[in-house]
Amino acid sequence: MSEVTKVNDFLWEIKKDESLGMRVPVRIIANESIVNQMQRDRTLKQAVNATMLPGIVKNMLVMSDGHEGYGSPIGGVSAFDAQNGIVSPGFVGYDINCGIRVIKTNLTENDVRPRLGMLMDLMFKNVPSGVGSTAKLGFTTSDLDKIALEGVDYVIGKGYGIREDAEFTEERGNIEGGNPDFVSDLAKKRGMQQLGTMGAGNHFAEVQKVEKILDERIAKSFGLQEGQVVVMLHSGSRGFGHQVCSDSYCQKSDYLRNNNISLPDPELTYAPIGTKVADEYLGGMRSAINFAFSNRQIMMHFIRKSFSEAFGKSPDSLGMDLLYDLSHNIAKLEEHDVNGKKTKVYVHRKGATRAFGPGSKDVTKHYRNVGQPVLIPGSMGTASYILAGREESMMETFGSSCHGAGRTMSRHQALREIPMSKTFSGMKSKKIEIRVRDKKLVSEEAEWAYKDVDQVVASIEGAKISTAVARLVPLGVAKG
């Protein structure tokens, strides 16, 4: 692999090497410590492999939370020409539209602390979590088909939330082009009873307080102030999206084999835009995107219900408005500047979030003057952040930012090296209430298995990709 060279304190580059088959350079947004860390595994090698695929434009990006993934690195952003490019499930991931939703309240820590234990019990009961968790809300195959087409509007119509919630969701909670005909019966069967469930792994519902406001003007636009309690929810498309991805890998592998197309890594399967197999993946992926938006919408309904039960007040009187919901595993048709020309491209964000800047017509009018909220969860027990997209991101990163802290250990390594007792005692020392389905697996998500989120965010802000608005700290966490 070519040498990693420094452009500035927060930008690094692997220059295009045509002898390796690279079509574009790799650009890494991180400080020196994080870049050195990335070179200990296959993160940057995977990024180089990604530059070899047809139709890739401008550069392959790795965000400061980047780490080794399946095929493409997590924390990777790539864009492919909409006419001559490709679409790849490996550049999106198995948990299609895994994403973050932040719900505001008008409560403070002093309000919440006396009832925190009860509140966490209620959230843990009302929002099922863990491997294979189900909610059994009575959804049918017909409902799933309508969700694939209509997204959150359909479940809001069923009583799960209010119409205003859609306005504060990326794509208004409904990306166009979902097609249930391109979703297998097995995917629908897996998803049927999983709407309204969190799942396992790094998914969580966390009660947090705004510890510090870092940009007063933008915070005011977002409706945030110091001491305020919010809820951060992290989940995706569950078995529905996982099966869509699995089915697509099989189809694309067959396509490549039948057309004698070789790959730098067999995990980088793809299909050229305009082919039947690409159209089928896009229709299925968009269906899973709408499933995930709807899943988080339903969970928010039950989080509101939990607060209402704990405080004896309506969600409206508790100020439980949606701040924003955004995806970090997605491929979208967007228009960006490529070599000085506006070009339609399929932007693949895998473990990366959209971060559109001020003035973008794709940002809700409520935030258009300050830029889109960018929601960054830390690891379990550490800080999280709310950022805002900047104009520079539109020019430098296809309007993208990081999505979290980013792992430094695999889950298996974390379980081997971090005792369960250390994880629980660390949470207890910070007075964080924790509810978890499987205590044996809790160290998978321990803070020591992740990068320092403060450094990750400082790198993004130093590169002028997003502006830090607020730092949040946890009070209670419920997870699988």
Q: What is the pLDDT of residues 172-189, one digit of tens each?
A: 999 999 999 999 999 999
pLDDT digits (tens, 9 = 90+) for 324-370: 999 999 999 999 999 999 999 999 999 999 999 999 999 999 999 99
Backbone angles phi, psi at 120, to 5 degrees: -65, -40
Contact yes or no for 129/197 (Cβ under 8 A):
yes
Taking residues 403-410, report their average pLDDT: 96
Structure tokens at 144: 């799933």
Q: How far apart are CA 263 and CA 285, in angstroms?
A: 22
Best CA proximity match to 441, nearest among 475, 468, 393, 480: 480
Contact yes or no for 137/302 (Cβ under 8 A):
no
Q: How far apart are CA 338 and CA 352, in angstroms?
A: 20
Taking residues 135-145, report their average pLDDT: 94
CATH number for domain 99-332+360-479, candidates 3.90.1300.10, 3.90.1860.10, 3.40.50.620, 1.10.760.10:
3.90.1860.10
Residues 6+ away with beta carbon under 8 Å from 254: none
Q: What are the E-state strand segments in 161-270?
A: 204-213, 228-235
Has residue 1 got a pLDDT over 80?
Answer: no
Give the number of other CB atoms < 10 A from CB of residue 428.
Answer: 12
Taking residues 419-445, report their average pLDDT: 95
| pLDDT for position 133 | 87
403 is catalytic: yes
Structure tokens at 227: 């001491």
Q: Which residues, listed in sequence order, are joined to residue 213 by a DSSP beta bridge? A: 470
pLDDT digits (tens, 9 = 90+) for 387-402: 999 999 999 999 999 9
The kind and range of the H/E element at 396 are helix 391-396
Q: How far apart are CA 348 and CA 79, in angstroms?
A: 6
pTM of the model: 0.97
Q: How far apart are CA 226 and CA 212, in angstroms?
A: 6
Residue of 301, 328, 403, 412 with catalytic role: 403
Percent of the chain at pLDDT > 70 equals 100
**pLDDT category of residue 2 using cuts at 50, 70 and 90:** confident
Give the number of other CB atoms < 10 A from CB of residue 431.
Answer: 11
Residues 6+ away with beta carbon under 8 Å from 52: 20, 21, 22, 23, 264
Q: Hey, where are the domains in the chain?
A: 99-332+360-479
| pLDDT for position 132 | 84
Helices (H), 127-208: 141-150, 152-157, 164-167, 185-191
Q: How far apart are CA 236 and CA 248, in angstroms?
A: 18
Find the range with the poorest average confidence among 10-19, 198-207, 256-265: 256-265
Mean pLDDT computed over every residue of the chain: 96
Report helix, strand or coil for 470: strand
pLDDT digits (tens, 9 = 90+) for 70-92: 999 999 999 999 999 999 999 99
| pLDDT for position 262 | 86
